[in-house]
Amino acid sequence: MADTFVVSNTSFLLYNQRLDNIEHTGRGFKVHGKSMRGCIHRLQQSFYPDFDIRYVRPKKRKRDAGVSGRDRGRRVDEEITALVNGTSGDNTDLHNYTKKWITATRHWNWTPVAAQLKIYDEDTQIATAIDCVCKDEEGKLIFVEVKTGFEDYVDNSTHFMHTPLGNVRNTPQNQHFLQLLIMCIIMEKYYWTNEYSAFVVRIDEKGVRREALPSWAHDLKDAIYSILVEHTKQKKRHDRVNNGDIKKGL
């Protein structure tokens, strides 16, 4: 009698070997022992290389007891990961933003099933991690990118992104959507082909908001991915020239 396997919406977490081939080094990722660049770095190179956060971030901002926004975001990420993956100990000292996340996911009836899920794509040489994977009431998967702060400048912009995003304002908000989109593309390609939803969840002093991918992200998905693949090919050729593997001009 043939073995049977009941597929659930979280079974890919156990049976997809690609999840075991990648590790976080602290400064990036390694896949089968070879380095891959992170999602944000590659997106900035291809679509907003001239972006400077100093031009959109207010000079006078409210600080979190002297803690930088990056440190606060790292702490919240670590706390959410520990809670979701079941490795947290005493939860009495959680950051206020983490507590807001817990309240919001319960209100939305989301059940977190994985955090910091590491994924990668050979064609774009991108490796990244999804902040959280949840299930809704019907068991449908939800891919979540968690962002903290940005309340004073999330929609600030000085210009637009590069082709094919020439009509998309170069705001932190749209950069976050682009980051989430690439994760969804990689998930669809290698990990999950069934129906899902995707949100950027933004946590700040005002509360917690979930923002679904906008229409431009869906409309330009194929073009965005093609640009990343082409830039990867160009970089590989450039590296081969510099290494002397092929002659210049050929």
Query: What is the reported pLDDT for 2?
Result: 42
Lookup: tokens for 2: 């043939």
Q: In the predicted model, is pLDDT for residue 213 greater than 70? A: yes
Whether 4 shows a pLDDT value over 50: the answer reads no
Taking residues 222-250, what's their average pLDDT?
A: 78
d(CA 175, CA 153): 13
Q: What is the pLDDT averaged over residues 18-39?
A: 89
- Give the range among 5-14, 82-91, 99-108, 230-239 with minimum mean pLDDT: 5-14
pLDDT digits (tens, 9 = 90+) for 84-116: 988 766 667 899 999 999 999 999 999 999 999
| Banded model confidence at residue 249, pLDDT cuts 50, 70, 90 | low
Per-domain boundaries in the chain: 12-242
Q: Which CATH class is domain 12-242?
A: alpha beta
pLDDT at 89: 61
CA 221 to CA 182: how far, in whole Å? 8
pLDDT of 143-199, one tens digit each?
A: 999 999 888 889 999 899 999 999 999 999 999 999 999 999 999 999 998 999 999
Q: pLDDT higher for 39 or 62?
A: 39
The two beta strands, 126-135 and 34-38, are parallel
Report whether 117 contacts 173 (CB < 8 A).
no
SS3 183: helix
- Tokens of residue 249, six digits: 């001009």
Contacts of 92 (CB under 8 A, 6+ apart): none
pLDDT given at position 1: 37
The predicted structure's pLDDT at residue 54: 82
Per-residue pLDDT band for 69 (boundaries 50, 70, 90) equals confident
DSSP string computed for 21-44: SEEE-SSSEEETTEEEEEHHHHHH
Dihedrals phi, psi of 231, to nearest 5 degrees: -65, -35
Write the pLDDT tens digit of every residue in 31-47: 998 999 899 999 999 99
